[in-house]
Amino acid sequence: MLKCADLLESHVELTARLNQHLQAVVVGDLEQARTLFHSFAALLEAHSLAEDRILLPVFKKLKLESNGCSLDILDKEHRKLRRLLADAEQRIFQKTVDLTPAVRLAWIEDTRMLKEVLEHHDVRERAAFNPAFDQALDQAEAAALAGETLALQEQLEAECFAKYQARC
Ligand SMILES: [Fe+2]
Ligand SMILES: [Fe+2]
């Protein structure tokens, strides 16, 4: 049966997609780097929005907040991630790009902050967010909540990816 902790698999997938994007940057494949960035961005946007819309209100209602994992902290980190994502998108999709070694290095450096915030956010949610639902709810309730969140995430991911592709 699905658990809310299973939703953390998206974090692993996000890291993998970001690394694939960076590998394409390293070899100077601009088209591939852009597509892989959009695939990463769509999942990050969809994952954080699905959490905002479904999980955060339940987290509050069940009084699961703690000092290190409050609604305010989670909301701020989600906003920061989306802001960093928008900055990176602007940089990667500027009209004239020549992926010289210097530009490749600059892009990799610019992604560092995004990676760091992602890592901190993963540690926080892994410790005190996702497992808290599974502890507070019975198995069927946790499975239903996780299923609903995953379904919305998948729908939003497809929408975000299409929106990004349309802008290219
Ligand atoms: Fe998450
Ligand atoms: Fe999150």
- Give pLDDT tens digits for 31-42: 999 999 999 999
Query: pLDDT confidence of 166, banded at 50, 70, 90?
Result: confident
Ligand with minimal distance to 73 CA: 2
> What is the structure's pLDDT at 168?
73
**Percentage above 90 pLDDT, the chain:** 93
Tens of pLDDT, residue by residue over 101-145, are 999 999 999 999 999 999 999 999 999 999 999 999 999 999 999
| 55 C-alpha to ligand 1 centroid (Å) | 10
At residue 6, the pLDDT reads 98
Q: Name all contacts of 131-140 with Cβ < 8 Å and 24+ positions apart.
A: 131/4, 131/5, 132/59, 132/62, 132/64, 132/69, 133/4, 133/55, 133/58, 133/59, 133/62, 133/64, 134/3, 134/4, 134/5, 136/62, 136/64, 137/4, 137/62, 139/1, 139/3, 140/1
Mean pLDDT for all residues in the chain:
96
Rounded to the nearest angstrom, the distance between the alpha carbon of 32 and the centre of ligand 2 is 27
How does residue 165 score in pLDDT terms, banded at 50, 70 and 90? confident
- Residue 139 Cα to ligand 1 midpoint, Å, equals 20
Q: What is the pTM of this model?
A: 0.95
Give the pLDDT band of residue 167 (cuts 50, 70, 90).
Answer: confident
Instruction: Give the distance (Å) from ligand 1 centre to CA of residue 14.
Output: 10
